[in-house]
Structure 1
Amino acid sequence: MAGEAGRGRDGGVVVGRMKLGSQGLEVSRQGLGCMGMSGVYGPPKPATDMIALIHHAIRSGVTFFDTSDVYGPFTNEILLGKALQGGVREKVELATKFGISFQDGKGEIRGDPAYVRAACEGSLQRLGIDCIDLYYQHRVDTRVPIEVTMGELKKLVEEGKINYIGLSEASASTIRRAHAVHPITAVQLEWSLWTRDVEEVIIPTCRELGIGIVAYCPLGGGFFSSGPKMVETLSEHDFRKLMPRFQPENLAQNALIFKRVSEMAKRKGCTPSQLALAWVHHQGSDVCPIPGTTKIENFNQNIGALSVKLTPEEMAELESYASADAVKGDRYDAAMNTWRTSDTPPLSSWKGDRTSSICS
């Protein structure tokens, strides 16, 4: 359900807190994805504006921030590091990731021990902190046994450089094998009204093991905020321009989904984005969505979703709008492997060397 959030005495939204996973990490009921602040969705935004947004989020009760060394690359972590100066660090839960290294325009997926350690040291330096609250493997290196990667992460926990370990876009078997080496606190995955394939195997696996669920792109890459018109405003360098669901041959059909969600949102007295985000919140008390934004007004609208209550009948109605046969186009093109169905070699195959796993 929607958890502890509601309306405060002054009418503002009380974000509330939640336990993420079963290892002791506590975070705000909703997080803030920071990727878009440093590119990816177009040119990087002014640092002063983004720091002001981060500080506004903290004052509003959102204290769980998500970044990665590949965002920028590196510049998003540097931005977060600047925002956390002056006694702010103690107020937040900071998550970052390793595992994707870009060289000569190609992404190299790495999970070998030397890289894991070097990446962690680099993130600590850029963030200006002594310990990372939640450290994810961003993508799984399919050439390195997950037990080897986890072994190094376990050492970093023992050394006090990270507190909790997470995985992102991992298969169920990878999650199980990793969890057997050291408890996984959270799995980050894409989960929204129109991306629900994780519900079949991944979500049940996490719940069986007591692993928290962090939902990225809970607004469908912004589609449930603005609908089809968002495509017209995307900058030349926004990677969403390449996403199949936003291509002309699919967009007309997907626009009908937004229309139905908008009609229901009007009946509920909220915005379409609040309705779509509320749907994610209602998936369970172990789910923390991390919608990203670069504007304070959009941030305020997002936390308003915590006050939207949905009945089981309304949940079913929403899901009928965005059923698998109603959504046209995959979430990514074939070159953007998600690793959800990828496994790593058995530990017995590890000889201490590795061959890089390459993605476009």
Structure 2
Amino acid sequence: MTDLLTGVRVLDLTNVLAGPFCCSQLAYFGAEVIKIEPPGRGDLARQLGADTDLNSKDMGASFLAQNAGKKSVSINLKDTRGKNLFFQLVATADVVVENFRPGVMKRLGLTWESLKTKNNKLIYCAISGFGQNSPWSNKPAYDQIVQGLSGLMSINGAAGQAPLRVGYPLADTISGLTAAFAICAALNKKEASYIDVSMLESLLVTMGWVISNWLIAGEKPTPQGNENPTSAPSGTFQAQDAKINIAANKEEQWRILANYIGRDDLLEDVKYLTREDRKKNRSALNIEIESAISMFRASDLAEALTLRGVPAGVVMEVPDILKHPVIADSGFLTEFENVPGIGRNLKTVSTGVKINNKAPFTKTPPPELGQDNSKVFGELGIDLSALNELKRSGVI
């Protein structure tokens, strides 16, 4: 954990991925994040993930992935007593984050306007599929729905394969990151703010070059597969034992590549004299390159080209990169021992940054449902007898 957000209290009402990912980033930078979950069932992600044993314990891998460093309290927000508990917490908080469908918080009587009466400096962040005031605001939105609507799927994969979804929940993740960024900006302003994050618009922002080619140059985006449409040779090639990405985007990089693989003749071929020539004839050029590199091991070729200033890298699988020293020894992974609720060690990812040469980390593992009820509610002056009664009546 870093101390950049120490002293900031975040109430995390979110569920599944977009919101939890947002609040996870804040936790790693030092914020106190209190996850508020429905009694008895908690965040749906507690039942999601590839390990069915963990799902049965309400500690699913999908939950464990982005809830380290948080506290957990359980509150029934449909109960008047639960609402009162939440209002008391709001009075102590700096930020509230939710990713309900638009209208849910209004039906609960927990709008930003009502919460501001409890805390006039509150930052309120709502994450939804299309934004709070969009004509589509009432539509349910999951990651794949947003990927399809954004046009992303139409350009993913090679010609003849699209539409294809990206292989992980990109829309959820990028909207969570967008929300965390906006919250930090609002915290810097130090005044009440209402932040409305659209998954759709967050995803479209990341497609900047593709969208700009259409808006500015009038070029309709099409699937490019593993090819870089701005240059050639620049894409994925089959070496002797594995696939390798090579990006000879600059003229000098193209010349170095041709020389190293023993194909100087390609430099004089009229089909490949300029970048535009190579782009126009990329299919034929790719065949020539793959023929030449078929005698090279992918890792050896990647290392040799990199040393010569030509960007290259072996196409790896997820387990391979996670155990590689460049990640395993970087502080990127956080390990917790004998985690309560799962009874074993746990590794999770942290963030993609270093602060003063150190990776942000958090000391506490993902929480069991309601594990911090006594401590958090006790700080509000609620004694053990009252807590037990609230628990018996299903309020917490």
Could you say which TM-score interval applies, normalised by the shorter chain? under 0.3
Question: Which of 1 and 2 has greater Rg?
Answer: 2
**What is the TM-score when the length of structure 2 is the normalising length?**
0.25
**What is the TM-score when the length of structure 1 is the normalising length?**
0.27
- Higher relative CO (Cα under 8 Å, sequence separation at least 6) belongs to 1
